[in-house]
Amino acid sequence: MFFFSFFWSFFHSALAPTFQIDSIWPPYGLHNLIFNVMELPLVNTLILLLSGATITWAHHSVVKGYFLETLYAFTYTVILAISFIIFQAFEYHEALFTIADGIYGATFFVATGFHGLHVIVGSIFLITTIIRIVNLEMDQNKNVHFEVAAWYWHFVDVVWLFLYIFVYVWGTDSKEVFSTLEFMDLVDFYFFKILTATIHTIALPLV
């Protein structure tokens, strides 16, 4: 629900930018300061996609009872996770805008920062899983801890894909979009059409 609210806030601001930011997204003054999506953001995306592959490899190794392969796969996943965190911190350090730079800075840093927090939690989860594997506390028949960690990590991957596609790529393309009035008129128009069709569908059989 947290990420749903973050995306809701982002799309609300990007699809219907108000006159306070000149009805354009990203706001004037920021479109030249935002990140090149083909550089560090793309590297982080590839890192997380690769980590999704390594944790899937770990899952198949656990099911088959391959101890060393499981350990290697989890270790690679943790290394990739830590690399992502380091690159994300570097991205924040090099950013030419801050969380205080209006609605764009606020939505960008809150959404990506909260995802980064999930990556940190997931990394801790993965490390504890490695410790349990080394201590022989997990096998193909006793791996609930692993299953939870793996699904959590896939969730982190999927959320980042949405962040990269919408916040980084689509959301940083400087373009004129609907003004607030035009957007609300469009919503009212389609809402009225849907409401009219619904009433007509319900009432017609009663006539």
More confident position, 38 or 138: 38
Q: What are the φ/ψ torsions at residue 142 (nearest 5 degrees)?
A: -140, 80
Residue 144: which pLDDT band, with cuts at 50, 70 and 90?
confident
Mean pLDDT of 101-117: 90
Q: Where are the domains of the chain?
A: 2-176, 179-207
AA letter at 45:
T
**C-beta atoms surrounding 107 within 10 Å:** 21
Mean pLDDT of 91-108: 87
- Return the CATH fold of 2-176: Four Helix Bundle (Hemerythrin (Met), subunit A) (1.20.120)
Average pLDDT, the chain: 80
More confident position, 189 or 108: 108
**Is the predicted pLDDT of residue 88 greater than 90, yes or no?**
yes
3-state SS string over 118-162? Answer: HHHHHHHHHHHHHHHHHCCCCECCECHHHHHHHHHHHHHHHHHHH
More confident position, 147 or 49: 49
**Is the predicted pLDDT of residue 170 greater than 50, yes or no?**
yes
**Is the predicted pLDDT of residue 183 greater than 50, yes or no?**
no
Query: What's the pLDDT at 206?
Result: 47
Query: What are the residues whose beta carbons fall under 8 Å from the beta carbon of 103, sequence distance 6 or more?
Result: 13, 21, 27
**Is the predicted pLDDT of residue 204 greater than 70, yes or no?**
no
